[in-house]
Chain A
């Protein structure tokens, strides 16, 4: 069914995929993602968070997720452009999952197809914690996941780099010229 839509507001569409994750030392990986925006953004349709399947890649290959992202916003201001926040987890043979890393990337603000690499990091504890994590798992996790995409209180933690999450996003803008928004 094709519905008519009014055409007066400034709208943004993000259409794409969370394609893969590479460079991780663990094997069965999945990713939880969400899109965070500022207050001027009104979410119209589409899932703005989700969880991918768990992929076990061949040795040395990237974990393939190909998870579709299709979100539609209308905006009242240009502040608070969306960020894609990801958390990568690894599954072990017993079905337990453990945090592999956190990361965020800014969604593109220019129309067209973009390929984005989102760097992933993991909080580290003391030497004793790292040693124990090798055998038992369950390293430090962030208590407040907002720390991933905000810059407050970052100075308190120590982190180490993990792999990269690859995202392909196409951006379609509507009526931006009518409101004098330059991009």
Chain B
């Protein structure tokens, strides 16, 4: 579901910064999971627009390795570029892991959520997984039989942090992701995210202006 850039409602590109993330959902470790596939979603705030890339994806079904690591490997690429005017609403990656239960129904095995890294460079992120639980024992028994476990209607609601107080969860396992992050014009707009630009960097567009003189924008 790639969203092409709007010409951003008249906001000149000098007020926008770009965030480009290329990474992958590498692997997961989850005890007791025989097969697992994952779905990722990216959720950004109202001031963020996707320029290129997909904001959702589904992986292949993976089985754990036969060695002591018991690692489930997906190697699922996540590549997205954002254009934004405001670091508020920094995009978050939400991973939902599904697998079959005893009767073969696809049930949710865990959710993980994390912000994309806020500084350029290479990052390795571990997302602990948690799965919603029924509050009563009877409900747990019924959902075990019918295969309809409690599940979030919209996983991207995990990104807002609202309404979580009514959830009860059980945490188990984690997902490992790695990202390479490049930003543009964050420093030119006055932001400091702890990452100093290399010496000799100047602001401006990569394409020279119409007169061909290449002056900074």
Contact = CB atoms under 8 A, between A and B. Distances in A.
Contacts of B46: 1, 3
A171 B191 CA distance: 10
A176 to B, nearest CB: 7
Nearest to B137: A93
A70 B161 CA distance: 9
A140 B161 CA distance: 29
Contact of B118 (A5, A63, A66, A170): A170
B193 A172 contact: yes
A181 B189 CA distance: 17
A50 B167 CA distance: 13
A17 B169 contact: no
B162 A47 contact: yes
B192 interface: yes
B190 A7 contact: yes
A143 B18 CA distance: 47
B192 A54 contact: no
Interface residues of B, number: 55
Interface stretch (A76-84, A99-107, A109-117): A109-117
Given A28-B168, A54-B168, A55-B170, A64 B130 contact: yes
A3 B88 contact: no
B165 A53 contact: yes
Contacts of B75: none
A69 B114 CA distance: 11
A3 B165 contact: no
A57 B159 contact: no
Interface in B159-199: 159-162, 164-172, 189-195
B149 interface: no
Contacts of A172: 87, 118, 191-193
B99 interface: no
A107 to B, nearest CB: 14
B15 interface: yes
Interface string A46-63: 110011111111100111
Given A15-B118, A172-B191, A173-B191, A55 B171 contact: yes
Contacts of B190: 7, 174-175, 178
23 contacts: A2-B8, A2-B11, A2-B48, A3-B9, A5-B47, A15-B87, A19-B128, A20-B128, A50-B161, A52-B164, A53-B164, A55-B130, A57-B171, A66-B128, A68-B159, A68-B161, A111-B192, A111-B194, A113-B194, A170-B118, A172-B118, A172-B193, A174-B190
Interface of A: 1-5, 7, 13, 15-17, 19-20, 28, 30, 44-47, 50-58, 61-64, 66-70, 72, 91, 95, 110-113, 170-178
